[in-house]
Amino acid sequence: MTKASPRERKAYIITGPTSGFGYRTALEVAKHGTVVLVGRDRGKLEEVHKTIERGGGHAVPVVCDVSDLASVRRAAAEITALRLPLAGLVNNAGIGQTRATKNAQGWDTVFATNHLGPFALTEALMPHLPDGANVVFVCSGAEDPERRPAVIAGFRGGRYISAEASARGEWKSGGSTHPGFDSYATSKQCNLATVMAFARATPRLRFNAVEPGFSPGTGLSRDANVLLRLLGKYVLAPLAPFIRYWSTPARSAKVITNVLLNESGGTGVYYDERSRPMLGSTLARDPEFQDRVVAETRALLSTVSA
Ligand SMILES: NC(=O)c1ccc[n+]([C@@H]2O[C@H](COP(=O)([O-])OP(=O)(O)OC[C@H]3O[C@@H](n4cnc5c(N)ncnc54)[C@H](OP(=O)(O)O)[C@@H]3O)[C@@H](O)[C@H]2O)c1
């Protein structure tokens, strides 16, 4: 544990630190600096906060619903007002849904939670991050229509038409027959496109992506039926360490933390669950597509007054 006072310790912002990958990443990062815990549930944030402080670490909870643009803007202002020596950001919060819902702005909740909110938070915080700081997006191989395990699971890759269409919950035809899969895969394709576009546009910071591996025991598909959730938690999760493309929150947290803390790494790299560079979908690798996603996302977000 670092001996510096809380005001001097580097501070790392992590969204979604109350469950799954984000929780384990928060505990891991707390060994290296202050953790700014960004989550929607004050009670759960307090629990994580207490766990970190009991272990001798330091954390600051900030309530934020990343699906809601107003909440994201408030949280970004609150974080910068803390005047901590910010050193990095992990955009981890995310959801999958089998029944589509709308957020406070009337946008598809999955697209707003997984892409629009993290995008807005990142753009609001970027000016406050020092040169060389790492920004990590927790992405997913579900975005790639050619990734075998995702295809076997029923995904058909990102189905992006435009940011506005995604916000309306409309996806390119020929997608998945599973409800919610196109929304999830498209939001994750937009994460990856954003990382690559930001990496090119802002070389003073490092933007990298991590595909944390399939981890069936997390809360990601919490609206799935109870049988599936029990199967995931008690039957499939224990198998995760032994299966290719699968991982555990504890193992992937180390990968995410290493990318976040790396002071000499590259930018625009997509890492797999074992820290190896991997390729995203053909579309997500296309700079024209990446720039279109960024421009259309900015245009959509600018329609909501501050
Ligand atoms: N599990 C997998 O197999 C898998 C595979 C590839 C990628 N991923 C990605 O990994 C990331 C973490 O997922 P996970 O599997 O660890 O799921 P998880 O256990 O459900 O954790 C998700 C975290 O995000 C938070 N969150 C959700 N909606 C939010 C909102 N509107 N505002 C603020 N926080 C919100 C949750 O908070 P609450 O506790 O309050 O709900 C929780 O802390 C996601 O980006 C996901 O897409 C997961």
pLDDT in tens, 155-204: 999 999 999 999 999 999 999 999 999 999 999 999 999 999 999 999 99
CB 272 within 8 A of CB 184: no
Q: Is 20 in the pocket of ligand 1 (CB under 6 A)?
A: yes
Name residue 287's amino acid.
Answer: P
CB 13 within 8 A of CB 79: yes
Nearest to 121 by CA among 49, 36, 52: 36
Ligand 1 pocket test, candidate residues 28, 47, 95, most atoms within 8 A of CB: 95
Atom of ligand 1 nearest to the CA of 184: 47
| pLDDT tens-digit series, residues 243-283 | 899 999 999 999 999 999 999 889 999 999 999 999 999 99
Long-range Cβ contact pairs of 172-177 (< 8 A, separation 24 or more): none
Q: Is 45 in the pocket of ligand 1 (CB under 6 A)?
A: no
Instruction: Output the pLDDT for position 235.
Output: 84
Phi, then psi, of 97 in degrees rounded to 5: -135, 140
CB 77 within 8 A of CB 38: no
Instruction: Output the pLDDT for position 255.
Output: 98
Q: Considering only CA atoms, which residue is closest to atom 7 of ligand 1?
A: 140
The CATH number of residue 296's host domain is: 3.40.50.720
CB 30 within 8 A of CB 2: no
Q: Is residue 4, in this structure, part of any structural domain at all?
A: no
Report the C-alpha gap between 273 and 229 in whole angstroms.
Answer: 22
Q: Is residue 251, in this structure, part of any structural domain at all?
A: yes
CB 135 within 8 A of CB 89: yes
Q: Is residue 36, in this structure, part of any structural domain at all?
A: yes
Count of the separate structural domains present in the chain: 1
Q: Is residue 199, in this structure, part of any structural domain at all?
A: yes
Alpha helices in 60-147 (DSSP H): 69-81, 109-111, 117-125
For residue 249, what are its two tokens?
Answer: 């929150």
Lowest-confidence region among 2-6, 218-222, 230-234: 2-6
Q: Is 134 in the pocket of ligand 1 (CB under 6 A)?
A: no
| pLDDT tens-digit series, residues 22-76 | 999 999 999 999 999 999 999 999 999 999 999 999 999 999 999 999 999 999 9
Q: Is residue 72, in this structure, part of any structural domain at all?
A: yes
Residue 208 burial (CB count, 10 A): 24
Q: Is residue 283, in this structure, part of any structural domain at all?
A: yes
Mean pLDDT of the chain: 95
Residue 95's Cβ-side half-sphere holds a number of Cα atoms within 13 Å equal to 24
Report the C-alpha gap between 215 and 211 in whole angstroms.
Answer: 11
Q: Is 212 in the pocket of ligand 1 (CB under 6 A)?
A: yes
Give residue 105 CA to ligand 1 midpoint distance, Å.
21
Q: Is 140 in the pocket of ligand 1 (CB under 6 A)?
A: yes
Residue 226 has pLDDT above 50, yes or no: yes
Q: Which domain holds residue 297?
A: 11-301
User: Which position has the token pair 């891991």?
Assistant: 28
Q: Is residue 2, in this structure, part of any structural domain at all?
A: no
Q: Is residue 91, in this structure, part of any structural domain at all?
A: yes
Instruction: Output the pLDDT for position 7.
Output: 67
